[in-house]
Amino acid sequence: MKKVNYFILAMLALPLFTACTDNDETEPEVELEAVLVEDLYAPGAQSGGTEFVYYSLENNAVVDSEDGDWDLGFFGTTIIVNNGVNGDGNAEATVLNGVIFDELESVPTTAEFAIDTEEGNAIPTGSGNGWYLYDQPTHIVTPLAGVVILVKTNAGNYAKLEMISYYEGNPAHEDIDPFAGGYQTFRYTLQSNGTMNF
């Protein structure tokens, strides 16, 4: 009799265990969308600029001063991180070459993040060294194809960023006024859960 009772109890409890298993399934990951930042005006000295424009990738917003919670600073073609010689934060960055923004699904394990130092910035400056090419005859700045900037934000999250244009309205090459630069258009994808996956 006892054997029958244990069997019946086990059969009655089976749906409860099954229900718990079904509810404990991992929810599918939400697909991240790229944020487009258009015409962020951050002119360099050659265009009349006098100071950096500080930007928070976490908040998708300009930060009022270098004392705020920012990740990247823009001044013409120069991009700095909030760390090292240029800030008191924890931001870091590195530049990947030969990479397609949309196809980059995670931070490579070989990526070497850096901070800004007296020897150079984490995002190198100069034509062909970082994110852009400067054409001497035309004075036009063009973002390099296949370049993705990886950023570890001040909050410790990872973002991938692609520079799109240096001129207002992202004009066609033949319509660019080379002396009216400093309008940064870029897109980025931020992973806010602390993982390295995009």
pTM: 0.85
Q: Flag whether 15 is in a domain.
A: no
Q: Flag whether 1 is in a domain.
A: no
pLDDT of residue 28: 53
Burial class (CB in 10 A: 0-12, 13-18, 19+), 148: buried
Number of domains in the chain: 1
Q: Identity (one letter) of the amino acid at 85?
A: V
Q: Flag whether 19 is in a domain.
A: no
Please spell the DSSP secondary structure of 141-198, one letter per residue. Answer: EEEPTTEEEEEE-TTS-EEEEEEEEEETT---GGG--TTSEEEEEEEEEEETTS-SB-
pLDDT of residue 26: 53
Structure token pair of residue 65? 């001063």
Q: Flag whether 183 is in a domain.
A: yes
Q: Flag whether 5 is in a domain.
A: no
Q: Flag whether 84 is in a domain.
A: yes
pLDDT of residue 118: 97
Structure token pair of residue 88? 């008191």
pLDDT of residue 138: 95
pLDDT of residue 31: 84
User: CB–CB of 71/91 below 8 Å?
Assistant: yes
The residue segments making up the domain with residue 145 are: 29-191
Q: pLDDT averaged over consecutive 10-residue blocks of the chain (198 residues)?
A: 45 46 54 96 92 98 97 98 97 98 97 98 97 96 98 98 98 94 98 96
What is the rounded CA–CA span in Å between residue 45 and residue 99? 31
Q: Flag whether 100 is in a domain.
A: yes
